[in-house]
Structure 1
Amino acid sequence: MPRILFIGVEGGGNVPPTVAVASALAARGHDVRIAGIRLRRDRPSGGDIRTTPLASLEGFPRTAKSTTLRTIADFAGLAASRDIAAEISALIETRRPDVAVVDCMMLSSVGAAVRAGVPTVVLMHSLASFFLRGWRTGPIGLIAGARGSRPLAVWRAADAMLIATERDLDGFEHGLPLEHAEWTGTTEQGAAPAPRDPALPPLVLVSLSSMWMPGQADVYRRILTALAELPVRAIVTTGGAEIEGVLDAPPNVEIRVRSPHEEILPHASLVIGHGGHSTTFKALAHGVPVVVLPMHPLIDQPIVGRAVERAGLGRMLPKKASPAAIRSAVSDVLQDGRVAAEASGMGERLRERDGAAAAADRIERVLTTRAAVRAGAASE
């Protein structure tokens, strides 16, 4: 039974694709282990998956109040940490996996797997246009490069790269600078809309990341103010992020810490989100349009928001949008039949595909290729 080691981190939207692909492989009978990510009840997994904590990742991520500079330092450290690389090297030596699947943000971990001679697959869990442009050439990528982990060089050293998103929304018209990369599609699963009661106002789901973001509480408050004057029902999920102060919900809004979005989305007419890849594509997989207010300029959120707006699947607003601007955008999207039709069509297309299965297929091909190479070398 092939042993497959996933290496990841509790970083928010990177977790669902990792768990989904690991689950697809475990369901096929592979021996799957995930290092660095916990499995919780709200993270359904298929098959028998074991987990291993990583001591070098203790305290990451920061769900409480931080600063932009601290966030950059945290993620640059994640990318280029020698301590993480050393722990991954020791884990590979102990577990001896047949293939390692590594989060694309963990550059030093990718390098550790490659140096150990293990077939290595890089998992890119958002738009490639973000990682290959903003992330690679921004402060995190530049700091990592200065510490010896240049993103393109590290990714190219792997056997394969999987891009777990939809190519049509990614913005690459002339191909990638990575010959071994391929889009395997989003791993987010959706369901057809549930029957709507015409007597009830439309349902809006609000979610602004499970991680703390600068100004997050203020954005929640402006959204609540906007929704208070609209003929809608709304559910706000804070995802466990530390919210400064108290959020006062108007009568038409319910606030929950955690609630499975897949149970709400079949009944929802709109999602107001932060542009996180996982939240956004889960909404789209259910055929639900999105209003995006990016919380952080250095993460994928602005690029995801622009992709949504460009495709006619919703609107993007600045983080500091006023309650009136938010109210107007919500009202416009809810009343725009073209947006509803585009979102519905996207949902149907996404539900026809299985991104986790496609990624699992590619990982199995890496296993087969390496096995054939070893067999050929042994026969010489």
Structure 2
Amino acid sequence: MPPELGVARRLVDRGHRVIVLADETLTDQVRSVTEDFIPFSVSWGQFQDWRLRTPTSLLRGMVGQLFVGPAPTQARDTAAAIDRFRPDLVVASFSAVGCMIAAESRGIPFDVLLPNVYALPVEGMPPFGAGLKPAVGPLGRVRDRLATGASTALFDRYALAPINDLRATHGLDAITHSWDQLHHARRELVLTAAAFDFPAKLPQNVRYVGPILDDPTWAADDGWTLPPGNERLVLVALSSTFQDQSECIQRIADALGGLPVRGLVTTGPAIRADAIRAPKNVTVVASAPHREVLPQCDAIVTHGGHGTVMKALAAGVPLVILPHGRDQADNATRVVERGAGVTVSRRARAERIARKIAEVLDHDTYRRAAAKLGLTISTTAAAPTLIDELESIRKSD
């Protein structure tokens, strides 16, 4: 939500009228940006991916709850909003295929927001989700071809028929693969810096438009203080949503307790701050705005979510990443490949986590690499590329 609301906020600030359709649980967050809010007529609840233990169950759950389950309601509600307001452009979340189908059926151009690295299968990009490096040599290319073919076939097994059924309901022709629905977009807008992602052969409608570095609306501006002292400061930030991360946060706090540092742990809205036992040199708070904390930090320990990684790098802060799932292993691989941090298992003992934190703090090469990459990220984030692409609808359509 923070990056997508950031897009809406920038359009409102530019003077455009922005009507947001979203789950009713997001009412307060949306209305902090615009009063033009239409809740979907059905709420699907949180996708509890942390409960799913196998790749197949995770994929089925993701398809069912994020892509095809909500799609009929999304399509109906979006079509009604289009008929009422006649917008110039529909901007859809990458999983909101129902919104895309509604726009396509009404002849309204639509753009898709991808709020992380480019995740769709394309030549040269490692398969998404496994934290793989780019392929090297013939064997690497075979690896990518087999993995991409298998993942596409499995995704299509669960998603393609429901998507095509919904397309037929709205008078549209069938597509060959599920991902083709996103490729029908006028633009696929990737909310990261091209310098962070791996190079690949991308569709012509793909644009890297830079990250959204906004803090979430729930990040408090008060109610937090830095730990006292002059020792180096380490921020701990492990996700704004629940990923069963309490035990991991506790081991990180224990690791910091054995180091000559100050630790600031932000638990986010998913974990109670008082659930973490804090060593004397560690302060635990529910939230703190990263835009204020990160410039004072010497390192950050994180799950590797794209937003946190982008904000850390933009501040020139090296990272220790404990991926929990989703896109986090992919982000970690990109950080490590750029020399801007290290990765460690989320199940690692406190002693090993402490060694990794000390490694990042004691070797200035990590900070120099983070600062170098962060300069590019900050420049990209500040550029008007995102708004220029969205406003180009007036020239091209």
- Which category of TM-score, normalised to the shorter sequence, fits these structures? 0.7 to 0.9
Q: Which residue of 2 aligns with 1:188?
A: 213
| Equivalent residue in structure 2 for 1:344, among 359, 371, 376 | 371
Q: Which residue of 2 aligns with 1:33?
A: 19
Report the CA distance between 1:98 and its aligned residue.
1.1
Name the CA shift for 1:44/1:273 in 2 (closer, same or farther; >3 Å): farther
Amino acid corresponding to residue 120 of structure 1 in structure 2: F
Distance (whole Å) between structure 1 residues aligned to residue 214 and residue 369 of structure 2: 18
Q: What is the aligned-residue identity percentage?
A: 27
Match of 1:292 among 317, 321, 337: 321
Deviations 1:259-291 (A, max 9, x none): 211121111111111111011111111111111
Candidates 175, 178, 183, aligned match of 2:201:
175
Cα distance, 1:74–1:156 mapped onto 2, change above 3 Å: closer
Cα deviation per residue 1:21-71 (whole Å; 9 max; x = unaligned)? 2222212211112221637579975xx5632222323523559x8445478
CA distance in 1, matches of 2:370, 2:348: 23
Separation in structure 1 between the aligned mates of residue 161 and residue 262 of structure 2, nearest angstrom: 49
Report the Cα distance in structure 2 between the residues aligned to 1:209 and 1:359, rounded to whole angstroms. 25
Q: Which residue of 1 aligns with 2:220?
A: none
For 1:75 and 1:244, the matched residues in 2 are separated by 33
Rounded Cα–Cα distance in structure 2 between residues aligned with 1:36 and 1:233: 39
Q: Which structure would you say has the larger RCO, counting Cα contacts within 8 Å and 6 or more residues apart?
A: 1
Whole-angstrom CA distance in 2 between matches of 1:287 and 1:141: 40
Aligned residue identity for 1:51:
F
CA distance in 2, matches of 1:293, 1:144: 30
Q: Which of 52, 66, 85 does residue 78 from structure 1 map onto?
A: 66
SS at match of 2:231: coil
Instruction: After TM superposition, list the pairs within 5 Å mapping 1:89-238 onto structure 2.
Output: 89-129=79-119, 133-134=127-128, 137=151, 143-148=158-163, 150-172=177-199, 174-176=200-202, 178-188=203-213, 200-214=230-244, 216-238=245-267
Asked if the contact 2:20/2:37 (under 8 Å) is kept, the reply is yes
Alignment match, 1:52: 38
Task: Report the aligned-residue RMSD.
Answer: 3.0
- Post-superposition shift, 1:348? 2.4
Give the Cα separation in 2 of the matches to 1:232 and 1:268: 11
Shift of 1:108: 2.6
Matching residue's letter, 1:117: G
Shift of 1:186: 1.4
| Alignment-mate amino acid for residue 289 of structure 2 | P
Q: Counterparts of 1:35 and 1:111 in 2: how far apart (Å)?
A: 15
Deviation at 1:225, TM superposition (A): 1.4
Gaps of 5+ in 1: 1-14, 191-198, 371-380
**Residue 196 of structure 1: aligned partner:** none
2:134: which partner in 1? none
Give 3-state SS (helix, strand or coil) of 1:32's partner: coil
CA distance in 1 between partners of 2:84 and 2:30 (Å):
30
Question: Is 1:353 matched up with 2:380?
Answer: yes
Q: Which range moves more in the overlay, 282-291 or 353-362?
A: 353-362
1:117 deviates by 1.1
What TM-score do you get using the length of structure 2 for normalisation? 0.78
Determine helix, strand or coil for the equivalent of 2:373: helix
